[in-house]
Amino acid sequence: MEQPGSSKKGSRMRGYSKDSPEVRVGKTLSWLLRHGAQSEKIAMRPDGYVRVSDVLASRKFEGVGFETIESLVKNNDKQRYKMIKEPDPKSPTNEEIWWIRANQGHSIKAVAVDMQKINSASDIPTGIAVHGTNLQAWNAISKKGLSKMSRNHIHLAQGVPGSGVISGMRKSSQILIYIDVQKALDAGIEFFLSDNGVVLTPGNKKGLLEPTFFRRVERVEDKNRIPLPEWDTPDPEFEELEQKAGRIIERMTAGKEDAPVSEPLQTDSEPNPSKSSVGGGSKEAEKS
């Protein structure tokens, strides 16, 4: 029986020894598809896809089978991955094979995954774009802004943990930074929606989303959200927007606790009759 993350390869897997084998496989897969394909000498297409067979042939995935990867894609609550079945350009018979990619989070500059350009704040299904962080990081963020750091984009969620939306945010976030997307768009900052509903922005030329675009900032204490005094300007429009977003999330995630909001994107990623897919339009372990 296949034992993911076990035996000789365990030390090659990312994550902590206390993590379950499945979690370590997930963390390693996330790292590989977002950052490590080149160092592992795995060929990656410009759209971020790699051959599943190449992943399984990697020493880091010794003993891991296709079923484990497929299950990880289907059951990942944040819809981090997508699998498709397409012809292999290296095959003389044009044989169809399985390909896999991370939906967002890449640091590999050459990768350009499918994204929907946001032209107006109303293009975001919930109307909300929020970044979660910790208290220590907030000290610097409050002065300089959010940074994409080594990644290609800054990640923003369409809601907060517990409201059915977790793609793009850690549940352990202590500070919630709500972005005035329209103000940033008007200033020339670009925004996109990833295939799994994460709001992405490269920031300005320095890779920053400056504090001038912060609409509201809250501190999370015992599941209560307390506005920070300097970011607590009365904003009836925002309060109405948040209530509306809550209703949208409830409809989208009815019966699916902490499910990512990705349904609105499915109109732009309808299954191609000539392709098979896993984890894209369907409901499909490193942090976001």
202-218: per-residue pLDDT in tens?
A: 999 999 999 999 999 99
Q: If you average pLDDT over every residue of the chain, what do you get? A: 77
Share of the chain above pLDDT 70, in %: 73
- The token pair that represents 119 in the structure block: 């032209």
Phi–psi pair at 215, nearest 5 degrees: -90, -35
Strand partners, 175: 133, 219
Q: Assign 150 a pLDDT band (cuts: 50, 70, 90).
A: confident
Which has more confidence, 253 or 123? 123
Q: What angle do CA 218, 219, 220 make, to 5 degrees?
A: 120
The pLDDT value given to residue 280: 42
Domains of the chain: 7-112 (1.10.10.970), 116-265 (3.20.170.30)
- Label residue 270 by pLDDT band (50, 70, 90): very low
pLDDT at 232 over 50: yes
Q: Would you say residue 255 has pLDDT above 70?
A: no
Confidence of residue 161 (pLDDT cuts 50, 70, 90): low
| Dihedral sign, Cα of residue 6, residue 278, residue 54, residue 286 | negative
Handedness of CA 199, 148, 170, 77 (dihedral sign): positive
Whether pLDDT at 75 is above 90:
no
User: What's the pTM value of the predicted model, to 2 decimals?
Assistant: 0.58
The three state secondary structure string of the chain is CCCCCCHHHHHHCCCCCCCCHHHHHHHHHHHHHHHHCCCCCCCCCCCCCEEHHHHHHCHHHCCCCHHHHHHHHHHCCCCCEEEEEEECCCCCCCCEEEEEEECCCCCCCCCCCCCEEECCHHHCCCCCCEEEECHHHHHHHHHHCEECCCCCCEEEECCCCCCCCCCCCCCCCCEEEEECHHHHHHCCCCEEECCCCCEEECCCCCCEECHHHEEEEEEEECCEEEECHHHCCCCHHHHHHHHHHHHHHHHHCCCCCCCCCCHHHHHHCCCCCCCEEECCCCCCCCCC
What is the pLDDT confidence band of residue 112, given thresholds at 50, 70 and 90? low
Residue 253: is its pLDDT beyond 60?
no
Residue 197 pLDDT: 81
Q: How much is the average pLDDT of 47-62?
A: 90
- pLDDT at position 153 is 87
